[in-house]
């Protein structure tokens, strides 16, 4: 069956600054991102035919009317999507399906989250009280992965710190990033513990923010602003597993089956056989530093157990063989949950078009965005290519 390859294009992108927005609500952030993406495409809001809005937490907003009210787009179809941390990317995915079906010429995918108002993280309110099983809070959950990876692969806290240092170096240069300071390995290692062995700089920022993407058929995008740097969808693959993997027998917790499955699906859809050679730039889900290391393996960029060495050798730096999170990642750009997937599409598109607002990686033609949603439950991968 045909996938999405070459059947949808990214015609415009925008992101708000991620961080603390005490003077803006969800509507304000969504409006800023959506108006930005529509203007970036060279369109007006009236030309948008349908919307998909990603919102993870009910305190941010509910229903398609959230987007309608934010941008005064009334009388059109709008869907709210929620899929843990892959929420924004799933909004994008569903917009792509409708466009690929030919039902709409021009669709808007966006995501927003307002987390700072909810205290330190707001995350407890995102998870429902499960009637059967309790879920540990995110840092405790990923601390299990770090502990087990240390034991299994011989990695240590210094390996994690290398990821943090790289992503801080990138994030410091992005004008829209939440955490904009460089750090050293020594600072990372000396930081206070959050959930051993994860320390402060191993954890991503908890942010407010919104991002948006205009999705069109490629023929339509060829008549819009970025016709000379057309970015098309090569794959958008999702794999969902249990919400309770930490209770599943046999789960080693040194990698995420959801990402591994999604990667296999995405590479098949895009026709990619050697990810490391063929993919030029990556935004991946570094909710914690350990997650980025495990992602590199799950995404097939290096052999099992070698991600720490791969990182220490500088391959994932902005000037390395495989730039990973040139935006600063969730780690420094921030992580307003519903917005993150669309923010990654914004970053990868900007990179491919040579107009990244922060660090610009050289000569990138194919980029990959990856989300890991829930407690390892959702693997979500979008592959974009510059076609001209």
Residues that bind a copy of itself (CB under 8 A): 1-4, 7, 25, 51, 56, 58-69, 74-84, 90, 93-94, 97-98, 100-105, 126-129, 131-132, 237-244, 257-258, 261, 373-374, 377-378
Least distance to a copy of itself, CB of residue 291, Å: 18
Rounded least distance, CB 72 to a copy of itself, Å: 9
Task: Please tell me which residue in 34, 335, 342, 370 is annotated as part of the active site.
Answer: 335
Strands 193-195 and 198-199: antiparallel
Could you confirm whether 178 is annotated as catalytic?
Answer: no
Nearer to a copy of itself, 103 or 362 (CB): 103
List the catalytic residue out of 34, 85, 287, 342.
85
Tokens describing residue 271: 């026709």
Who's near 129: CB < 8 A, 6+ residues apart? none
Cα 55 versus chain centre, distance:
14
Q: Which residue is associated with the tokens 């069956």? A: 1
- From the number of C-beta atoms within 10 Å of its C-beta (0-12, 13-18, 19+), residue 89 rates as buried
Q: Which is nearer to a copy of itself, 180 or 244 (CB)?
A: 244
Q: In the bound complex, what is the minimum distance in angstroms from residue 224's beta carbon to a copy of itself? A: 17
Nearer to a copy of itself among residue 69 and residue 321 (C-beta): 69
Q: CA 299 → CA 31, 86, 306, 384, distances in Å?
A: 34, 16, 13, 15
Quote the CA–CA distance of 179 and 168 in Å, as a whole number.
Answer: 7
Task: Report the residue number, 93 or 174, with the smaller CB distance to a copy of itself.
Answer: 93
Q: In a 3-state reduction of DSSP, which class is residue 57?
A: coil
Residue 377: partners with Cβ closer than 8 Å, 6 or more residues away: 84, 240, 241, 242, 243, 245, 258
Query: Nearer to a copy of itself by C-beta: 257 or 323?
Result: 257
Residue with tokens 């995918």: 109
Q: How far is the CB of 27 from a copy of itself (least distance, A)?
A: 8
User: Around Cβ 125, how many Cβ atoms within 10 Å?
Assistant: 14
Nearer to a copy of itself, 164 or 237 (CB): 237
Q: What angle do CA 256, 123, 118 make, to 5 degrees?
A: 155
What is the C-alpha to C-alpha distance for residues 289 and 330, in angstroms, rounded to an integer?
Answer: 10
What is the DSSP code (8-state) at residue 49?
-
Report residue 99 as tokens. Answer: 């466009």
CB of 242 to a copy of itself, least distance (A): 5
The question of whether 236 is a catalytic residue gets the answer: no
Residues with a known catalytic role: 85, 335
């Amino acid at each position: 069956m045909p996938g999405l390859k070459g059947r949808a294009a990214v015609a415009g992108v925008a992101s708000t600054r991620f961080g603390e927005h005490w003077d803006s609500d969800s509507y304000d952030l969504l409006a800023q991102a959506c108006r930005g993406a529509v203007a970036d495409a060279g369109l007006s809001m009236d030309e948008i035919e349908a919307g998909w809005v990603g919102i993870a937490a009910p305190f941010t907003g509910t229903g398609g009317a959230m987007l309608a009210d934010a941008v005064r787009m009334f009388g059109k179809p709008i869907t709210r999507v929620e899929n843990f941390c892959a929420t924004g990317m799933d909004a994008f995915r569903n917009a792509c399906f409708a466009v690929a079906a030919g039902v709409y010429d021009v669709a808007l995918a966006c995501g927003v989250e307002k987390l700072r108002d909810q205290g330190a993280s707001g995350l407890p309110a995102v998870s429902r009280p499960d009637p059967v099983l309790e879920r540990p809070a995110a840092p405790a959950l990923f601390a299990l992965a770090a502990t087990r990876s240390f034991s299994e692969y011989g990695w240590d806290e210094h390996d994690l710190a290398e990821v943090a240092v790289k992503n801080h170096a990138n994030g410091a240069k992005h004008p829209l990033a939440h955490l904009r300071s460089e750090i050293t390995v020594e600072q990372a290692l000396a930081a206070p513990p959050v959930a051993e062995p994860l320390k402060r700089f191993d954890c991503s920022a908890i942010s407010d923010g919104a991002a948006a993407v205009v999705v069109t058929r490629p023929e339509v995008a060829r008549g819009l602003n970025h016709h000379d740097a057309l970015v098309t969808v090569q794959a958008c693959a999702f794999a969902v597993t249990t919400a309770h993997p930490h209770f599943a027998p046999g789960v080693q917790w040194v990698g995420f089956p959801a990402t591994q499955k999604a990667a296999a699906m995405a590479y098949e859809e895009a026709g990619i056989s050697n990810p490391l050679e063929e993919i030029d730039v990556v935004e991946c889900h570094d909710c914690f530093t350990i997650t980025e290391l495990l992602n590199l393996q799950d995404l097939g960029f290096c052999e099992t157990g070698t991600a720490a060495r791969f990182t220490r050798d500088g391959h994932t730096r902005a000037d390395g063989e495989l730039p990973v999170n040139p935006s600063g990642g969730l780690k420094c750009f921030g992580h307003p949950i519903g917005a993150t997937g669309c923010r990654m599409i914004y970053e990868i598109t900007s990179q491919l078009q040579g107009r990244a607002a922060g660090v610009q990686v050289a000569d990138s033609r194919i980029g990959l965005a990856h989300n890991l949603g829930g407690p390892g439950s959702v693997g979500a991968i979008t592959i974009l290519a510059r076609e001209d």
